[in-house]
């Protein structure tokens, strides 16, 4: 009887130890699992952010490259026109400043070059001759391109309204030098006018998906080209400069463009978040901007976002599976311990049974001797 109570006490102690060991193991494992989960989550998040930024930067650079290519296309075209004007200005017939001698030659050059609306010759007093009307009724001493060329500069002007044709044009003016001696003051100005339409054709084709649009500003922040015709201006037909716009976002963009800043950034514009890519021209004091809705850029990140979602789901599933494996291990350990205890109990019970049988046999023998 005493042995039975002792075994019962030992059994209870083992169960208590088992119950205490279970939460202890969980208390050790849970922080480890939580730490591993946090570490994996942090690495995954950081990796996602890095990859996202790399891809997004590449997309932004491609959008900016489109604007730079358009600016470069206009620059190349203007550079070619400028070289043509400089070549003609250096000929002896033009340096003679005699319109009667140069008129036929310049008219033939207009037909040959085709890109120029008119070619003109201006004397130092502002008297102007052009291939459209000959001697004009007005002088151009007030024009920036004349003033700049008379200081010895090659100058591509902001668009103006031609006083002869009444059309918006971009004048290209170069100084005429006596005997090509550039150490002295120019003896006159030679130039040609290109129609603005040739430039706006390039800008108008610049886009980056639905809702995007491009425009170009001159040196004063006035649109040379804009999808809204009411916002296009010249010196003679002025429209408000974007530098004086009521919208602070538009004012800030115009300031950056006039300062010839280049780049692409995400900013609030027209009441929405948009990417704005800007690129200045080199041949003229103008700048081009491309306005791109945010979704046009970031929608290209959808495959990456989908991959990140799938990986996150797999991570959650792996954590759940690991936790279930731990629980299964705990149950298996409990069952092993219980089976071990039962085996021991059975062994003890058998030993007790044998001992009892032995005692009974012994008692019967003693009883038999006593009766004898």
Express each pLDDT in 72-98 by its tens digit: 999 999 999 999 999 999 999 999 999
pLDDT of residue 200: 81
**DSSP letter for each residue of 286-340:** -EEEEEEEHHHHHGGGHHHHHHHHHHHHHHHHHHHHHHHHHHHHHHHHHHHHHHH
Residue extents of the structural domains in the chain = 54-75+200-296, 90-195, 310-360
Closest C-alpha among 133, 71, 134 to residue 98: 134
What are the phi and psi torsion angles at 208 (to 5°)?
-150, 65
Structure tokens at 286: 């103008």
Structure tokens at 301: 């990140």
Handedness of CA 74, 76, 77, 80 (dihedral sign): positive
CB-CB contact of 79 with 73 (8 Å): no
Residue written as token pair 């070549």: 87
Residue written as token pair 């400089």: 86
Distance separating alpha carbons of residues 216 and 86, to the nearest angstrom: 26
| Chain centroid, CA 365 distance in Å | 104
Express each pLDDT in 296-329 by its tens digit: 888 776 776 676 677 777 677 777 776 677 677 7
Closest C-alpha among 296, 288, 314, 128 to residue 217: 288
Task: Give the SS3 label for residue 18.
Answer: helix
pLDDT of residue 16: 55
CB-CB contact of 237 with 161 (8 Å): yes
CATH of 90-195, one of 3.20.20.70, 3.40.50.300, 3.30.450.20, 3.40.1390.20: 3.30.450.20
Distance separating alpha carbons of residues 156 and 191, to the nearest angstrom: 10
pLDDT of residue 15: 55
What are the phi and psi torsion angles at 292 (to 5°)?
-125, 120
% of the chain residues with pLDDT over 90: 37
283 pLDDT above the threshold of 70: yes
Express each pLDDT in 113-165 by its tens digit: 888 989 999 999 888 999 988 998 777 888 899 999 999 999 999 888 888 77
**DSSP letter for each residue of 260-276:** T--EEEEEEETTEEEEE
Q: How confident is the model at residue 110 (pLDDT cuts 50, 70, 90)?
A: very high
Q: How confident is the model at residue 4 (pLDDT cuts 50, 70, 90)?
A: very low
pLDDT of residue 136: 87
Express each pLDDT in 191-228 by its tens digit: 999 988 777 888 888 889 899 999 999 988 999 888 88
Give me the mean pLDDT over the 249-272 stretch.
91
Residue 143's CB is within 10 A of a number of other CB atoms, namely 22
Give me the mean pLDDT over the 175-179 stretch.
89
Instruction: Classify domain 54-75+200-296 by CATH number.
Output: 3.30.450.20
CB-CB contact of 154 with 171 (8 Å): no
- Cα dist from 116 to 14, 25, 108, 120, 224, whole Å: 104, 88, 12, 10, 18
Range with the poorest average pLDDT among 20-34, 37-51, 134-148, 159-173:
20-34
Task: Check residues 8 and 144 and name the one with the higher pLDDT.
Answer: 144
90-195 shares the fold of 54-75+200-296:
yes
28 pLDDT above the threshold of 70: no
pLDDT of residue 29: 64
The β-bridge relationship of strands 128-130 and 134-135 is antiparallel
Average of per-residue pLDDT values in the chain: 82
Structure tokens at 95: 């340096």
- Measured at the CA of 326, the angle between CA 324 and CA 330, to 5 degrees, comes to 115
3-state secondary structure 132-193: CCEECCCCCCCCHHHHHHHCCCCEECCCEECCCCCCEEEEEEEEECHHHCCCCCCCEEEEEE
Closest C-alpha among 236, 192, 203, 242 to residue 219: 242
The conformation of residue 128, written as its DSSP 8-state character, comes to E
């Amino acid at each position: 009887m005493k042995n039975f109570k002792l075994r019962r006490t030992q059994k209870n102690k083992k169960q208590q130890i088992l119950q205490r060991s279970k939460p202890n193991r969980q208390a050790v494992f849970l922080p480890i699992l939580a730490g591993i989960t946090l570490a994996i989550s942090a690495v995954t998040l950081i990796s996602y952010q890095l990859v996202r930024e790399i891809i997004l930067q590449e997309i932004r650079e491609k959008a900016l490259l489109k604007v730079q290519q358009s600016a470069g296309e206009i620059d190349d075209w203007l550079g070619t026109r400028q070289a043509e004007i400089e070549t003609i200005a250096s000929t002896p017939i033009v340096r003679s400043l005699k319109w009667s001698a140069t008129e036929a030659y310049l008219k033939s050059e207009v037909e040959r070059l085709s890109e120029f609306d008119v070619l003109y010759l201006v004397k130092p007093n502002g008297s102007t001759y052009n291939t459209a009307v000959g001697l004009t009724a007005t002088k151009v001493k007030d024009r920036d391109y004349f003033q700049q060329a008379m200081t010895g500069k090659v100058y591509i002007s902001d668009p103006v309204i031609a006083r002869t044709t009444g059309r918006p044009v971009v004048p290209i003016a170069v100084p005429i030098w006596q005997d090509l001696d550039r150490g002295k003051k120019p003896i006159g100005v030679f130039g040609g006018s290109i129609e603005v339409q040739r430039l706006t054709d390039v800008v108008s084709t610049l886009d980056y998906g639905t809702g995007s649009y491009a425009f170009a500003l001159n040196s004063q922040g006035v649109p040379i080209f804009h999808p809204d015709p009411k916002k296009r201006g010249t010196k003679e037909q002025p429209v408000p400069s974007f530098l004086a716009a009521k919208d602070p976002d538009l004012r800030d963009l115009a300031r950056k463009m006039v300062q010839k800043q280049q780049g692409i950034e995400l900013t609030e514009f027209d009441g929405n978040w948009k990417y704005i890519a800007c690129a200045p021209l080199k041949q003229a004091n103008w700048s081009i901007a491309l306005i791109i809705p945010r979704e046009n850029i970031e929608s290209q990140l959808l495959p990456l976002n989908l991959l990140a979602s799938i990986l996150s789901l797999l991570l959650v599933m792996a954590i759940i599976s690991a936790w279930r494996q731990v629980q299964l291990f705990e149950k298996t350990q409990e069952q092993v311990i219980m089976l071990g205890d039962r085996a021991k109990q059975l062994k003890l019970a058998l030993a007790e049974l044998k001992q009892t049988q032995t005692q009974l046999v012994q008692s019967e023998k003693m009883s038999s001797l006593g009766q004898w």
